[in-house]
A and B are shown apart, each in its own frame.
Chain A
Amino acid sequence: MDLTDLILDPLRSGIWRRAAAEVVLLGGICGALSFWVTSFRLSYPAESLAHGLLPGLVLAALAGIPLVLGGLGGVALAAGCVALASRDPRIGADSATAVVVTGMFGLGALLALSPDAPPRLEELLFGDPLGITHTDLISALALAVVGAGALAALHRPLCAVAFDAPGAGALGLRPGGVRLALFMLLAVAVAVAVQGLGSLLVLAVLVAPAVAVRRAATNPGVAMLSGAALAAVAGLAGLYASHHLGSAAGASVALALCLAAVAGSVLPWRLRRGEARARRGRRAAA
């Protein structure tokens, strides 16, 4: 089998084409969003939301309604509970979040593992890009369009708040409002992206792209665009690997994204260029 076949062979399957479209759409928008997830230190909240929405997903699977509706309901409930619990000063936000997420994740597992439930739990936990439906694709497309619009409109406030929140407040922005808007966008992205990667692996597409391009990024726009491109490419690479090696698709995509993050953090070439530029800058200043 030559290279062309390696690339074209999976494309003959409609299921695979749908999976590829889903991965490219989700990778594009979540890869861009991941820059803000890491800048605002939202990795743990993102993981909490993804785990906490499991009961919503399971209930949707049991009731036979589109999973994205269950995901949205679950993520809203999880976000509400986490917000409520972390306002209690007695045990601290981290412990409160852990309690809520443990309970909700346990509830999801309880519902899914009871003998009457159809055996779909692994799909919900680890994702199944090859089981993508047209509804899933449409919701991913909607997320990509709405998310791109929101990120474009919020670009300057996000930059100003991430850089210096008190200073942004003095410029008339509301840092709390900007954070809330980003958090809501993240929640919707988690609910939609969970269709492809599952509750346990969705964090990969929301964090790994930004980590992978961190050293190459010279400004937020470049970081978002390169993160989006890298997530789409790494996701496709994962799908190809899964096709040719026969491995689980969701896990292959997640691991491809993690590998990209490791490669991006370890590869030294951009760093040296950045340092050289910094030295030039300091010399010019002196």
Chain B
Amino acid sequence: MPTLATVRLGENDSRYAPGVDPGTVPSPLDLLDLPLTRTALAELTLLAICGGLLGAFVVLRGLAFFAHAVGTATFPAVVVADATGFSATLAGLSAAAAYACGVERAGRSVRDPGDSATGLLLVAALGGGILLASDVFESGAAVDRLLFGTAIGLNGADLALSGAAAALALAATILFGRTWAAVGFDSDAAGALGLPVRRADVLLLGSVALAAVAALPAVGALLVSSLFVVPAAVARLFARDVPALLLGSVAIAACLAVLGLYLSLWLDVPPGPAVAVLGAAAYGMCALLTGLRASTRTPAAGTSW
């Protein structure tokens, strides 16, 4: 029976969820019992707050591809950091900031995910990252953790970063939420009203990039959108205005995060894939339900403030 003492990172038999006997159904109270799961629970709750808030604007502004791409773009940087002992946070932040600046410079890629240059950049990031991991540093199975996250490797520093990201997301939502909502609804009209569209976009891209880095340890480089797109997309199906979208998005993100963590304990998998699968299933069910219910009504506007 694997116990915490046998858990080792960086090997093929490493496990993603701590202290629970595989194959048995864990009690939900286990989440609160063990220190490691308490940390993971707190981490995912904080990420749910910032993912829910920023995700609402990501969906309104059509930045889903950016949220996904900014996580992926950090992969080679966190591989290097992981292997050399450099701060993964700083490495991830610089890669994410570089990517966000590049997108902002290019301008059009934000709303044009069909751009072949962006696709190639992501392939190069993944290919370069895996080459570094397997041949230069020989990091082995740590790659799984960097790509899909972990519930056990989390520590106080990760928690502090997620707390800062959540606080920042909250502050930014209070300060810039109205502008972001107006720009997301109709950027031309918002520009005509004298709103600083470009500055609002830069702020949103920067916030999402920062928050995505905070989410890397828990959900990994490939599944950032499980917290930054999916919950807000589910909430968008119900919400009639922006406050409802924000509240619903945070609530759904929190539910998905807790359930996902529980599922990851149960199945002994990283939390990222668990949250992603639960979120997509929730979206599918809600889309079918609301689609049946509201097929004759007009779609939810969701953009008045």
Contacts and interface: CB of A to CB of B under 8 A. Distances in A.
Contacts of A41: 114
Nearest to A104: B280
Contact of A92 (B62, B267, B270): B62
Interface residues of B, number: 62
B82 interface: no
A251 B280 contact: no
Given A38-B116, A113-B144, A113-B148, A102 B128 contact: no
Given A89-B299, A91-B59, A103-B283, A109 B272 contact: yes
Given A110-B273, A110-B274, A98 B115 contact: no
Contacts of B237: 90-91
Contacts of A46: 119
B277 A106 contact: yes
Contacts of B236: 90-91, 95
Contacts of A95: 59, 62, 64, 229, 233, 236
**Which of B124, B141, B237 has the most chain A CB within a 10 Å cutoff?**
B124
A88 B127 contact: no
Contacts of B229: 95, 98-99, 102
A252 B131 contact: yes
Contact of A261 (B120, B267, B270): B120
Nearest to A108: B273
Contact of A255 (B115, B131, B280): B131
A207 B116 contact: yes
Given A42-B114, A246-B135, A248-B135, A88 B269 contact: no
B37 interface: no
B155 interface: no
Contact of A110 (B118, B277, B283): B277
17 contacts: A43-B114, A94-B62, A95-B229, A98-B67, A99-B64, A102-B280, A103-B279, A103-B281, A103-B283, A105-B223, A106-B274, A203-B120, A207-B120, A211-B116, A248-B135, A251-B130, A254-B124
Interface of A: 37-38, 41-44, 46-47, 85, 88-92, 94-100, 102-110, 113-115, 119, 121-122, 125-126, 200-201, 203-204, 207-208, 210-211, 245-248, 250-252, 254-255, 258, 261
Interface of B: 12, 15-16, 22, 59, 62, 64-65, 67-68, 113-120, 122-124, 126-128, 130-131, 134-135, 141, 143-144, 147-148, 222-223, 225-226, 229-230, 233, 236-237, 267-270, 272-277, 279-281, 283-284, 287, 291, 299-300, 302
